[in-house]
């Protein structure tokens, strides 16, 4: 599902803009899957992005420029994503004998029935899901629309960084695509399974639930590792940058683990349980077969084991690069360490194989 597509085929960078960093990833399709040919994570200045809104497009663009330079890529085409909160989706039925251009024309005519904004203010796209169960001779079509400013901010930042946006995708659908890279971690490759992918980032947590590898539910809310960083700042009198650094590399007093980290770990478990309860109430089911943790907070030791123990559902950490080839100039250990936080970047970079 994308909001803007081009047919140009000359490689594609997956560019994930988060609250704290720009993640750049380029994959090359191979006979066995994919190979990582460029990758870097470039930190963003504090408050350049706030809850997925680009507050300082120039600063984000400069970070993208640094990421491009550090990665060594020569590819200019990229794919970016907007969060689900910025996108309206609607499944509609259309006649199954319409050609793509005919369907596009009819959707443009009828879209104002489904979209609560003036059509000139949105980027609009559609994706045929398959035959409709509701009506013979019809197909289900997923309609997606986002306010143009959400797309334009990301496009402008990429252009400042020297890149050309070819695809604007929607974050949950990039996670659905990236599931193909982790399905071997799930019993039966995720078929006949309900899998909850919980991505705990710096300031936002999102839940994507897949059944039989297909996205069936998504939700996101403010919560993330930034709260831990701010507690470290407050407790130990550090700057935001220093607090973030010692959180990653260590060096905090002995009381850090019992008094700061353990309560945050408990909070992560509470949030995971809360997200699952939202899904259960929406889906009328009360179970998932597997929890997959993604996002930067998966680096907190013991969190997967604690969630599995408290919630009672098998819980693993996403490892999208485990079966990929890696270029000789790529820092393999750092790539592995960042893997769980790269699911969206992976899903975007994989779109290069679609073009």
- Strand 138-147 and strand 122-131: the pairing is antiparallel
Q: What is the DSSP letter of 344?
A: H
Q: Using DSSP, how many helices (H) and how many strands (E) does the chain show?
A: 11, 17
CA dist., res. 153 & res. 311, Å (int) = 39
Domains 2-85+149-225+264-353 and 86-148 share a fold: no
Structure tokens at 334: 């750092």
Return the SS3 of 237. Answer: coil
| Per-residue pLDDT tens digits of the chain, which is 355 residues long | 455 444 444 589 999 999 999 999 999 999 889 999 999 999 998 889 987 889 999 999 999 999 999 999 999 999 999 998 888 888 889 999 998 889 989 888 888 888 888 888 888 888 888 899 888 899 998 888 898 888 999 999 999 999 999 999 999 999 999 999 999 999 999 999 999 999 999 999 999 999 999 999 999 999 999 999 999 999 999 998 889 889 888 889 999 999 999 999 999 999 999 999 999 999 887 789 999 999 999 989 899 999 999 999 999 999 999 999 999 899 989 999 999 999 999 999 999 876 5
| pLDDT given at position 47 | 86
Interhelix angle 262-283/303-311, rounded to 10 degrees, is 50
DSSP letters spanning 142-175 = EEEEEEHHHHHHHHHHHHHTT-EEEEEEEHHHHH
CATH of 86-148 among 3.30.1490.300, 3.40.50.11400, 3.30.1540.10, 3.40.30.10:
3.30.1490.300
Structure tokens at 175: 């996670």
* Residue spans per domain, the chain: 2-85+149-225+264-353, 86-148
The residue with tokens 């993330």 is: 224
CA dist., res. 111 & res. 347, Å (int) = 27
| pLDDT given at position 10 | 55
| pLDDT given at position 5 | 40
Pick from 87, 86, 85, 81: nearest CA to 17: 81
| pLDDT given at position 55 | 93
Q: CA 252, 257, 259 angle in degrees (round to 5)?
A: 105
- pTM reported for the whole predicted model: 0.90
Cβ count near 19 (within 10 Å)? 22
Which are the contacts of 46, defined by CB distance < 8 A and separation ≥ 6? 240, 241
Q: Which CATH number does 2-85+149-225+264-353 carry?
A: 3.30.420.40
Pick from 344, 222, 246, 350: nearest CA to 295: 344
How would you classify residue 83: left for phi > 0, otherwise alpha for psi between -120 and 50, otherwise beta?
beta
CA dist., res. 11 & res. 355, Å (int) = 9
Q: What is the DSSP letter of 259?
A: I
């Amino acid at each position: 599902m994308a909001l803007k597509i081009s047919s140009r085929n000359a490689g594609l960078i997956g560019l994930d803009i988060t609250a704290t960093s720009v993640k750049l990833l380029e994959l090359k399709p191979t006979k066995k899957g994919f190979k990582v040919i460029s990758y870097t994570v470039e930190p963003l200045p504090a408050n350049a992005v706030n809850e997925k809104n680009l507050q300082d497009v120039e600063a984000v663009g400069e970070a993208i420029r640094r990421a491009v330079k550090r990665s060594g890529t020569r590819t200019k085409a990229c794919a970016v994503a907007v969060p689900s909160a910025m996108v309206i989706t609607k499944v509609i039925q259309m006649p199954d004998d319409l050609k793509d251009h005919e369907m596009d024309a009819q959707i443009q005519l009828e879209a104002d029935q489904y979209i609560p904004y003036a059509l000139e203010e949105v980027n609009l796209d559609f994706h045929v899901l398959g035959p409709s169960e509701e009506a013979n001779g019809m197909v289900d079509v997923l309609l997606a629309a986002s306010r143009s400013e959400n797309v334009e901010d990301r496009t402008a930042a990429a252009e400042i960084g020297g890149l050309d946006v070819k695809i604007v995708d929607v974050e949950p659908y990039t996670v659905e695509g990236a599931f193909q890279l982790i399905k071997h971690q799930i019993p039966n490759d995720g078929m006949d399974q309900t899998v909850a992918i919980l991505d705990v980032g710096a300031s936002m947590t999102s839940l994507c639930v897949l059944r039989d590898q297909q996205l069936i539910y998504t939700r996101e809310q403010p919560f993330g590792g930034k709260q831990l960083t701010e507690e470290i700042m407050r407790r130990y009198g550090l700057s935001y940058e220093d607090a973030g650094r010692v959180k990653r590399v260590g060096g905090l007093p002995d009381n850090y683990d019992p008094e700061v980290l353990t309560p945050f770990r408990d909070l992560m478990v509470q949030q995971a349980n809360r997200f699952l309860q939202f899904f259960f109430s929406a889906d009328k089911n009360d179970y998932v077969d597997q929890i997959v943790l993604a996002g930067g907070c998966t680096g907190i030791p013991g969190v997967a084991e604690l969630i599995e123990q408290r919630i009672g559902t098998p819980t693993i950490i996403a490892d999208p690069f485990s079966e990929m080839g890696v270029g000789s100039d790529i820092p393999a250990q750092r790539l592995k360490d960042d893997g769980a936080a790269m699911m969206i970047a992976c899903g975007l970079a994989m779109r290069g194989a679609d073009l």
